Amino acid sequence: MMKFIKYAFSLAVIALIAIGCSEDDNTDYVNAIAAPTNVSASVRVTQDNTGLVTITPLAEGAVSYDVSFGDGSEKEVNITPGKGAMHVYAEGTYEATITAISLNGLTTEASQSVVVSFKTPENLVVTIENDPAISKQVNISATADFATGFEVYFGEDDAADPMPLNVDETISYQYEDAGTYTIKVVAMSAAAETTEYSEAFVVTAILQPLEAAPVPIRAQADVISIYSDSYTNPESIDYNPNWGQSTTYTEIQVGGNNTIQYGDITYQGIDFSGAPVNASAMEFVHIDVWTAEADFNALLFPITAAADGATSETSYELELKQDEWTSFEIPLSVFTAANGSLDFSNTIQFKLEGLPSGSGTIFIDNLFFYKVPSGIDTGLVGTWKLSSAAGSLGVGPAVGDITWWNCDADCVTDRACYYDDTYVFSADGTFKNVMGDATWVESWQGGSDSCGVPVAPHDGSNAATYVYNEDINSITLNGKGAFIGLSKGTNSGELTSPADAPDSITYSAAFSDPNTIQVSIETGTGSGTFWQFTLVREGVVSSPLTGTWQMSQDAGSLGVGPSVGDVSWWNCDDACVTERACYYDDAYVFGADGTFKNEFGGSTWLESWLGGTDGCGTPIAPFDGSIAATYTYSGGVLTINGKGSFIGLAKANNEGELSNAADAPDAITYNVTFIDNNTISVAVETGTGSGTFWQYKLVRI
């Protein structure tokens, strides 16, 4: 059903694109739609000796299907996605043909075996294996003479429905916990009788990371490393000092990267007191941590020494995610706010503790101090790539509007050979497209809308220069075949032949932050067709949140209720939005370098718990953006790290609602849903299980 919804939604989007384009008689977008992919079918044979079979076609990008049953009978045509074709077969084995049809009439065919036997299945052989890469996941396949399909019971929930398994198919299932489970496979044919197989199978958990921690992107000049293959570590350092701990220490290789394993961790030191580190110029500490345990966290303590030898330390809780790397960007101000005796100019050790003590194992990598680079050149000099965020490439009727078509997450994956292309702006004014051995080659270039060898002159082989005009926010490339984003987009229109490449192209370009630029081009003066690209400086982590956001001025954009999507308890109506204008112009700035900042201008809305009068006033510390902060975003979860930093309302956090500014937490985690590329819904439950959800609708500005 979910697959059908996905296909139906895709069809609706394609139809909207076609409608939008038809307004200017431009059918290129429909013509560019690819033939359907991943064509298959679900086959279900009725177990009543009638030979009745239901074939349900599946594909991506299909608007209808034809099914040829393979027995000489008339085929069934124009089958709607999600519907099945029913057919009565005589006993035998057949090859049905599934034809998937796209909106523009392109077709893709696939064969599907159909076995109809009125004999009870025999010689059932079941293969059950633990997945080598996914913890607590099993993969199951089965074969049997005369079988038309199988049903699998996984033994975790006796009330659960079985999972269907087709012939020549492997299915996967992930268990909540490792252990021994009775797995049953039932082989079925067109006969009423079945054949069964059961096995007590041991489901195992993967207890160490299979992929290395993310590669850091900070420059060595901005880093003091304690442990990382990416940087220079102190020469005199002990990662396993004898402090009387029972924790075990092992250094392992993960994906060719050195990684420390601290087993059954109670507490564990990292000692560099023989050569103390002066981290007073640093602003954050970074660490990557992995654990296989559920409900297991760790504490990180920096330890410093005073001139008289007295040591100071304080902890920060690392909230870990099971079976994945968790990255932390912790402002040093978090530690000094908790313990004013800390002196990072003489840092001598780190300590880690398990939480609960001794009940889990952690793997760590990339422990280092860093500062935000200063004096970043906001000019173009450097190497840039298209952001890998969904929507970084698109087209629409105006700048900021890419509703006609944009490259979603699946598209970004399909076009990986394009998203690794670079655009190099050198200090001497030269420009170069660098594509390596492959890029995305479209049909107008003689390609097949897929990865291929770059085609001249759009292959970077011709010399080129650039001119960046900050006053009017424009980039002009001079050189036949030089381009940004899409080679067919020019100031005169869209190319239909590489030979027509112009000698010069001018783009509009605006910096979102020092490491992100929004580039656009109208393909033909007055055409109303704007191709748009988001570029990020190479080496900078791209996030779909990068940019400046404000509360939407729609009524109800700020509210609270018993669940996400429900703001019935209270919400800010039109009159409220007008009254709180000093609040609705506050900005939330997500930097491409992972920094975050609340910006208020001269005033914001101050509630009584902040000492205000529920009216406009001067921002109050620490909710005034004065403390450095960072953010992480993954899978719809946003964490703001930095005391006093917040989204929406300063009082709403994961523990509850504040009544005193001094109690501001060091971090807040929010759930984020993208409504579109420039609109997000943000929610926070004020206290786990409280059932109180503050909710904010933000728009990118």
Give 13's pLDDT tier (boundaries 50, 70, 90): very low
Whether pLDDT at 421 is above 90: yes
Tokens describing residue 438: 């492959």
Domain annotation for the chain: domains and CATH numbers: 2-116 (2.60.40.10), 122-203 (2.60.40.10), 220-370 (2.60.120.430), 382-537 (2.40.128), 547-700 (2.40.128)
Q: What is the pLDDT of residue 9?
A: 39
DSSP 627: S
Nearest to 110 by CA among 155, 70, 52, 53: 70
pLDDT digits over 227-275, tens only?
A: 999 999 998 999 999 999 999 999 999 888 999 999 999 999 999 999 9
Of all residues in the chain, the percent with pLDDT exceeding 90 is 58
Distance (Å) of CA 261 to CA 224, 247, 253, 329, 407: 22, 10, 10, 21, 40
**What distance in Å separates the CA atoms of residue 649 and residue 647, rounded to the nearest whole number?**
6
**What distance in Å separates the CA atoms of residue 361 and residue 207, rounded to the nearest whole number?**
9
Per-residue pLDDT, averaged over 401-427, amounts to 91
Give 7's pLDDT tier (boundaries 50, 70, 90): very low
Give 12's pLDDT tier (boundaries 50, 70, 90): very low
Per-residue pLDDT, averaged over 105-117, amounts to 90
Write down the residue that tokens 């049903």 correspond to.
151
pLDDT digits over 561-604, tens only?
A: 998 888 999 999 999 999 999 999 999 998 877 889 999 888 89
Residue 514 preceded by cis peptide, ω within 30: no
Q: What is the pLDDT of residue 117?
A: 83
Q: What is the pLDDT of residue 378?
A: 46
Q: What is the pLDDT of residue 15?
A: 40
pLDDT digits over 607-649, tens only?
A: 888 887 888 988 988 998 888 888 888 767 899 999 999 999 9
Q: What is the pLDDT of residue 379?
A: 67
Q: What is the pLDDT of residue 289?
A: 96
Q: What is the pLDDT of residue 372?
A: 65
**What distance in Å separates the CA atoms of residue 120 and residue 191, rounded to the nearest whole number?**
6
What is the residue-averaged pLDDT of the chain? Answer: 88
Whether pLDDT at 101 is above 70: yes
Q: What is the pLDDT of residue 540?
A: 58
To 10 degrees, the CA torsion angle through 87, 89, 94, 95? -10
Q: What is the pLDDT of residue 542?
A: 58
**Alpha-carbon torsion (475, 479, 480, 482), positive or negative:** negative
Whether pLDDT at 454 is above 70: yes
**What distance in Å separates the CA atoms of residue 235 and residue 225, rounded to the nearest whole number?**
11
Whether pLDDT at 377 is above 50: no
Per-residue pLDDT, averaged over 347-352, amounts to 96
Whether pLDDT at 541 is above 80: no
Q: What is the pLDDT of residue 6?
A: 37
Whether pLDDT at 317 is above 90: yes
pLDDT digits over 424-433, tens only?
A: 998 777 899 9
Q: What is the pLDDT of residue 373?
A: 55
**What distance in Å separates the CA atoms of residue 608 and residue 619, rounded to the nearest whole number?**
13
Residue 209 preceded by cis peptide, ω within 30: no
Q: What is the pLDDT of residue 30?
A: 63
**What distance in Å separates the CA atoms of residue 124 and residue 200, rounded to the nearest whole number?**
17
